[in-house]
Structure 1
Amino acid sequence: MTEDDLARALAPHHLTSLGHCPMEGGTLCLIGPDEPTFWPAFKQSPEYQDGDTNPMDRWSLRVLTEVAQDLGAKPFFPFQGPPYRPFQTWALQTGRFANSAIGFLAHDERGLFASFRGALWLPALWPLAPNTAPALSATAMCAAACPVDALADGYDVAACKTHVASPQGQDCRKGGCLSRRACAIGRDRRLPEQSAFHMKAFL
């Protein structure tokens, strides 16, 4: 099992590996959307179209379980628990993520819009890739982009949610978090419609 094998298995589902790290004699690969093609493909899925709750989590569970079976891998999901799997810790161990100036994880290619649909543990042990995590300076301007300073000192979830739900929060609600969008890394990959979907779930 190689990285190319994994990429070929994920490509039909518009998913990609966001990084990998050694774990228990094998390799743990963090899996996320391959944007911007992911969102149009996801909208065609039965989970999105059936009108039931948590469509993306249900889709992720189905698709990554099938991929895992095909590859002889073991899947993990961030939405299953307790106990919840330490996805943020795993991410930092890949060398492709770093803590940003606003506290969220920043990815070397997808910036502050990186998200995890799951992880796959593979029995093959891959070498760890060179550290390409973004520098803190790459996200230094992001906190100032928040119109209610919800990220000035930690994350004020209540202030963020109140603003996003208000008439003044329409830009955040329809296009995604302004602070995330202020980060130049990866911001052109995320479609506004997908950000609106996640903002609706946040509220």
Structure 2
Amino acid sequence: MTFAALQKSARARHLSILGGFHPDAGDDVPQACRTILLLGPDEPAFWPVYQDSPEALDGAPDPMDRWSRRVIGAWAETLGAQALYPFGGPPFLPFYSWALRSGRVHAAPVQFLVHDTAGLMVSFRGALALQAHIDLPDSPPSPCQTCAATPCVTACPVAALTPAGYDVPACKAYLDTAAGQDCLTGGCRVRRACPVSQGFGRLPAQSEYHMRQFKGA
């Protein structure tokens, strides 16, 4: 079982392995776990497939979380692995810390996570905890190291998301205005401003879905 083979299997399920790590004694992972693999949507293939899924069409709550449990859970079973999810709490599993441990995800200047290929569009649908040691690819440096312009710092029209923190009420209030419709339907301008995000391929309809979920939370 190689990383390349697992990545191929992930993409067959419209997911992608966005990073992984080999746990140390202090990591909050299942017992006997030797490799954690972090899974996110494989863009842009993910969204059309998800939209046609039973979970997206049945009208029941939490469709994307249920899709994730079904798809990742079934895959984990075939691997003899344990499926882990960033939702379903509290308590919540430390996906933020796990992402940083992968070496492929870093803290951006605006404190959101930034990924080497997904940029600020990075998101996780789950993880696999494997008892096997999987050799992982070398991690590239943070894309922020070569981003002199840092457009994410000034992209928010109401300065709700800056290095000083995240003003969630100001963000949500702006989404209720006429001017905020671009953010609501096209996705967060801060996430879109990241040069890496712009090449990632997430469809605007998916960003709109997440923004509406956020606005209604």
TM range (shorter): over 0.9
Deviation at 1:100, TM superposition (A): 0.2
Letter in 2 for 1:196: E
Question: Could you report, residue by residue, the CA deviation over 1:81-118 in whole angstroms, capped at 9, with x for unpaired residues?
Answer: 22211101111111101100111000000000010000
1-side partners of 2:188 and 2:158: how far apart? 12
Name 1:40's counterpart in structure 2.
Answer: 48
How far is the alpha carbon of 1:41 from its aligned partner? 0.9
Q: TM-score, normalised by structure 2?
A: 0.89
**Match of 2:197?**
186
Given that 1:97 and 1:133 are in contact with CA atoms closer than 8 Å, whether structure 2 keeps it comes out as: no
Counterpart of 2:170? 159
TM-superposed deviation, 1:136: 3.1
Matched residues in 2 for 1:5 and 1:129: separation?
13
* Higher mean C-alpha deviation, range 174-183 or range 133-142: 133-142
Q: 2:84 aligns with which of 76, 80, 83?
A: 76
CA-atom RMSD in angstroms: 1.5
Contact 1:164 1:173 in 2 (8 A): yes
Following TM superposition, by how much is the alpha carbon of 1:128 offset from its aligned partner in structure 2, in angstroms?
4.5
Residue type at the aligned position of 1:16: S
Work out whether residues 94 and 128 of structure 1, in 8 Å CA contact, stay in contact via their aligned partners in 2.
no
Among 24, 41, 58, the alignment partner of 2:66 is 58
| 1:28-177 mapped onto 2 (5 Å cutoff) | 28-137=36-145, 138=147, 140-152=150-162, 153-177=164-188
Asked if structure 2 preserves the Cα contact closer than 8 Å seen for 1:107 and 1:133, the reply is: no
CA displacement at 1:120 relative to structure 2 = 0.3
Answer whether contact 1:94 1:129 (CA < 8 A) is retained. no
After the TM superposition, which parts of structure 1 deviate over 4 Å for at least 4 consecutive aligned residues? Answer: none
Amino acid at match of 1:200: R
Alpha-carbon distance change, 25 to 46 in structure 1, aligned in 2, over 3 angstroms: closer
The answer to which of 44-53 and 171-180 deviates more is: 44-53
Distance across 1 between alignment mates of 2:143 and 2:198: 16
- 1:110/1:151 CA distance change after superposition, 3 Å: same
Q: Which runs of 5+ in 1 are unaligned?
A: none
3-state SS of 1:142 partner:
helix
State the 1:58 CA deviation. Answer: 0.7
Q: CA deviation at 1:151?
A: 1.3
Instruction: State the percentage of identical aligned residues.
Output: 46
Distance in structure 1 (CA, Å) of the matches to 2:68 and 2:211: 18
TM-score, with structure 1 as normaliser? 0.94
